[in-house]
């Protein structure tokens, strides 16, 4: 096992917080992973990890080495790829995270063609509602919809996702189709909460002079996930306000109907996030560029003023 292999193993142990998790992710015996890290520490003359029965933590020296280790591995990969033919270069695994609806409806239909063009590439796609810890769980990049505040990650703005008000035809038959804000009094809203117990945000709508306000509305159902949110609307449980890209198919085939288009909520930013490092592996850059192309037709341009704030 050469020194670069030891660096790669240490990086995964540090990111995943344990030898067993790193061994599983790398497809190596746990003993080999532990031995590689011990040999690396001996060669450096420094303890990189505090080991406990439950997990490992970086020492001060380990945290400093981890930052340089990421850069060094990125530079090594770029150097190894320098004189190869471009189309055949993408090799290895890239771990990507995004919502389940985005993965199923937008990314998966086009993933086959991308992998066919890059047969040496493997994609690990985490598709769910849970907000993953990008660094600790070893993600190369994630796509997030909504506000992003995480100084430990690099943010690449992709655009703005238009948001629509919609409901099922069955719901509208029972409650009527609202034509103006004051007609919402007799309607129900499916509430979305990041965690239960939070105060519902209500129905968001634009103000004539600019900005947005929120109208409190009744609703018997509160969910904490995007799939359940859309599912509640399809089941006729109330109005929802959701990014159009997540319900485009349901709107097209009539399972959902857009209402109050003049009162569309504020568009939601869509961002690619990835760990800070000086040199990204080219396979990661290529995958991120491809994701940006896949999502671009479904997004509005990101105003420069908004993009510069991240």
Same domain as 126, residue 169: no
pLDDT of 20 over the 60 cut: yes
Residues 101 and 71 in one domain: no
Q: Tell whether 167 and 258 lie within a shared domain.
A: yes
Place 305 in a pLDDT band, splitting at 50, 70 and 90: very low
What does the pLDDT read at residue 203?
A: 95
pLDDT tens digit sequence for 200-245 = 789 999 999 999 999 999 998 999 888 899 999 999 999 999 999 9
CATH code where residue 26 lies = 1.10.10.10
Domain that holds residue 178: 163-263
- 183 and 258 part of one domain: yes
Total number of domains in the chain: 3
**pLDDT at residue number 69:** 84
Query: Do 238 and 168 belong to one domain?
Result: yes
In this structure, are 241 and 275 located in the same domain?
A: no
Q: Are residues 153 and 273 in the same domain?
A: yes
pLDDT at 278: 62
CATH of the domain at 141: 3.40.190.10
- Residue 147: predicted pLDDT: 82
Task: Inform me whether the pLDDT recorded for 88 exceeds 60.
Answer: no
Label each residue of the chain as H, E or C. Answer: CCHHHHHHHHHHHHHHCCHHHHHHHHCCCHHHHHHHHHHHHHHHCCCCEEECCCCEEECHHHHHHHHHHHHHHHHHHHHHCCCCCHHHCCCEEEEEEECHHHHHHHHHHHHHHHHHHCCCEEEEEEECCCCCCCCCCCCCEEEEECCCCCCCEEEEEEEEECEEEEECHHHHHHHCCCCCHHHHHHCCECEECCCCCCCCCCEEEECCCCCEEEECCCCCCEECCHHHHHHHHHCCCCEEEEEHHHHHHHHHCCCCEEECHHHCCCCEEEEEEEECCCCCCHHHHHHHHHHHHHHHHHCECCCHHHHCCC
Same domain for 146 and 282, yes or no, is yes
Question: Which residue, 41, 64, 80, sits at the end of a domain?
Answer: 80
Give yes or no: residues 112 and 243 share one domain. Answer: no
Which residue in the block uniquely carries the two structure tokens 């105003």?
303
Decide: pTM greater than 0.85: no
| pLDDT grade for 195, boundaries at 50, 70 and 90 | low
pLDDT, tens digit (0-9, with 9 covering 90-100), for 253-270: 999 999 999 999 999 999
What proportion of the chain, given as a percentage, has pLDDT over 90?
53
pLDDT band per the 50, 70, 90 thresholds, residue 276: confident
């Amino acid at each position: 096992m050469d020194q670069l292999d030891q660096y790669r193993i240490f990086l995964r142990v540090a990111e995943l917080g344990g030898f067993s998790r790193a061994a599983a992710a790398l497809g190596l015996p746990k003993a080999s992973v532990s031995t590689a890290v011990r040999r690396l520490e001996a060669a450096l003359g420094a303890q990189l990890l505090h080991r406990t029965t439950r997990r490992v933590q970086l020492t001060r020296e380990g945290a400093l080495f981890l930052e340089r280790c990421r850069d060094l591995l990125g530079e090594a990969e770029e150097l190894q790829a320098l004189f190869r033919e471009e189309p055949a270069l993408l090799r290895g695994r890239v771990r990507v995270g995004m919502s389940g609806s985005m993965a199923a409806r937008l990314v998966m239909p086009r993933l086959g063609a991308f992998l066919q063009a890059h047969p040496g590439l493997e994609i690990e796609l985490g598709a769910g509602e849970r907000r993953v810890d990008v660094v600790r769980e070893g993600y190369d990049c994630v796509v997030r919809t909504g506000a992003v505040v995480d100084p430990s990650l690099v943010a690449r703005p992709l655009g703005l996702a238009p948001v629509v008000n919609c409901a099922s035809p069955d719901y509208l038959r029972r409650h009527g189709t609202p034509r103006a804000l004051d007609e919402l009094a007799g309607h129900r809203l499916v509430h979305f909460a990041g965690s239960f117990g939070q105060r519902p945000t209500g129905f968001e709508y634009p103000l004539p002079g600019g900005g947005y306000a929120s109208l409190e509305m009744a609703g018997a159902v509160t969910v904490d996930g995007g799939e359940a949110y859309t599912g509640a609307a399809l089941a006729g449980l109330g109005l929802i306000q959701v990014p159009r890209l997540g319900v485009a198919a349901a709107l097209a085939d009539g399972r959902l109907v857009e209402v109050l288009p003049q009162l569309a909520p504020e568009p939601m930013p869509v961002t690619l996030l990835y760990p800070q490092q000086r040199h990204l592996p080219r396979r990661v850059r290529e995958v991120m560029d491809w994701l940006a192309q896949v999502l671009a037709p479904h997004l509005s341009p990101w105003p420069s003023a908004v993009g510069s704030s991240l």
